[in-house]
Structure 1
Amino acid sequence: MKTDRKILFQQRFERYYPVLCHIAAGYLPDSDDCEDVVQELFISMWNQGRDDMEEKAFLAYLKTATRNNCISFLRRRQRLQTVSTDDESARHLTDTSDTDRPKDYGSLLDTLLEQMPPKCREVFMMSKIQKMKYKEIATALNISEKTVENHIGKAIRIIRTYAAQNPTLTIVALCSQIINLGLWNIH
């Protein structure tokens, strides 16, 4: 039984590794980083015993996890980057007396995403970052397409409400961060 698991896992790795690296390349510019993220995902799947899923669910899970891991990778990298004094003024979104509001673009996006319920955030990210269609999201999460639409609508309302409640927040700064992380494409 253990040998069969290894063989199946190796076959899936060989089949999906290039596909997942391609997905990761949509988020990460460095191919080595893409490969690292995908390899770590497979190691995690093996260690957690999550490789026993049905083929279609396994692939859907891998695609979503690849996207999420890429986003986490970018967030970690962004937090580690130091900001030069020339860039410091551009990073501030509010005055220094307002401690409840985020001071940089990364924490702004984190704040917006944290305000969303977990399932809403997951659906929003699958739609806007992974560019999955509503039907694909519904299938991957085992929910109806109408539920997907409702989650997307709720996420957009949360973003609009936050922007309305924070008049010192510049829309340009918000849009800049959203575009940089691939939530919206500019053609």
Structure 2
Amino acid sequence: MDFTSNKWLKEVGGFKYFFERQYPSLCIFANNYLQDKEVSADIVQEAFVYVWSKRECIRDAAAARSYLYKYTKNHCLNFLRDSKRHQGILTEQMESQKFYRDNLIEQEAYEIIYQAIKDLSSQSQQVIELSLDGLSNKEIADKLDITVNTVKTIKQRAFKTLRRVLSPSLFTFLCMFSEN
């Protein structure tokens, strides 16, 4: 799909594809501010509705992503201010450009890793995602009705593939979140 113009944005299928690629990392981005997954998801959905309503003015996918992240950041900060859940220095830190930049970089890394995982075989993808969710090899084996040794073999092969396709720093980032 060509994202260098805004033609994709006017097509429901193109926007749906864009939504599916951006939604998970944008929810994590919002949750870094709010620490509330439900409210984060609501704000992200509102951000997509906003971008859809402004689709005639948006020139390409990069601009759409920029709108999404800025909208989400601003509405998360508004929510925090209005709910008075965070006060003083914490809110000040969250409003800083450094927090926004660091959060954005983290989400970009997550998006690249998420796409690499999606390119694995279905079983490898399941094992890696369950591992990232914090499940042990035994729990993964029980859930998928396979042996622990099979889980270990699948993980080993999947990580070998991911090591090949991800940059060393992104692979390290992924390893930090996976079970040993």
Q: TM-score range by the shorter chain?
A: 0.3 to 0.5
TM-score by length of 1: 0.42
TM-score by length of 2: 0.43
The structure with the largest helix share of the pair is 2
